[in-house]
Amino acid sequence: MAKVTVKDIIEKLDLELVSGEEGIDRPITTSDISRPGLEIAGFFDYYPEERLQLLGRTELTFFQKLNEEDKQARMNRLCTDVTPGIIITRNMDVPEELIEASERSAVPVMRSTLKTTKLLSNLTNYLELRLAPTTAIHGVLVDVYGVGVLITGKSGVGKSETALELVKRGHRLVADDCVEIRQEDHNNLVGNAPELIEHLLEIRGLGIINVMTLFGAGAVRSYKRITLCINLENWDSTKQYDRLGLEEEKMKIFDTEIPKLTIPVRPGRNLAVIIEVAAMNFRLKRMGVNAAKQFTQKLQSTILDEHEDD
């Protein structure tokens, strides 16, 4: 999981640091944001101290109605050793009690000009993206007709050569050799290339080529949602391969399952064309058109008609 600090959100969301500068390197470990209204009222039994705290107009208006003793007590309890930071919205004045408590506990207090709901949305989206679980898979990711196709297989089976042919046919390369994958939300996997090898393709015997330089900016993408996996394997004459397309194998990454097709590799097979057709067929299936099921239904209907004639 990526590391996000308070300093990162200050720079990303253009926040003003008011106090607690010593704590700007505090880590943010969750994308959940808290609006501590109940805590301001004195109820700390379930205070989520590990979250960023947002104080808007509602919370601060109620806070001003408290007596001086309660004000100091509430702010002291808001600022804990694990609280990453407190953000004041709408560019409102920061209570002196909060500034004093934050300096003692080194909890950064920031201020934003945005409304509370708008800031909450922006902050949540940013943290969910940065804190999404990630992994890396050996393979190639290509955008084929709008379908994010993850090509896997053993080293030397021809993944990069197939990707090169797909790029020549007008499709876009996302990553070669290593695909970084993050789960942004449920059933949503997004892949990209590590920065070091972005836009690069390794072809055995030829070396490393820069796809964007050779084929233009339209031949590459920075990231793509992964919706289909195609596994290339050397042809095995003893293995039975699916010839109708009724079997639906799945590949699981994190909590998300995506369809997986196994394509045998042998001389003379045009893998790029096969992958193009697989991507188009995948789109048709999502639109409710399944050629394999239609064929099976017609076959069963024909057999039933022949039995009735007999």
Active site residues: 138, 159, 177, 243
Known binder of ligand: residue 82?
no
State which amino acid sits at residue 143. D
Place of tokens 């896997």: 152
Q: How far is CA 230 from the centre of its chain?
A: 20
Spell out the long-range contacts of 60-65 with Cβ–Cβ below 8 A and sequence spacing 24 or more. 60/88, 60/92, 60/95, 62/37, 63/95, 64/95
Q: Nearest Cα to 86, choosing from 65, 59, 61?
A: 59
Known binder of ligand: residue 102?
no
Known binder of ligand: residue 146?
no
Known binder of ligand: residue 202?
yes
State which amino acid sits at residue 127. L
Question: Residue 59 contacts by C-beta under 8 Å, 6 or more apart in sequence?
Answer: 35, 36, 37, 40
Place of tokens 């009222």: 41
Known binder of ligand: residue 158?
yes
DSSP state, residue 91: T
Known binder of ligand: residue 153?
yes
Task: Encode burial over 157-170: b for 16+ CB neighbours within 10 A, e otherwise.
Answer: bbbbbbbbbbbeee
Known binder of ligand: residue 154?
yes
Q: Which residues contribute to the annotated binding site for ATP?
A: 153-160
Annotated binding residues: 153-160, 202
Binding site for Mg(2+), residues?
A: 160, 202
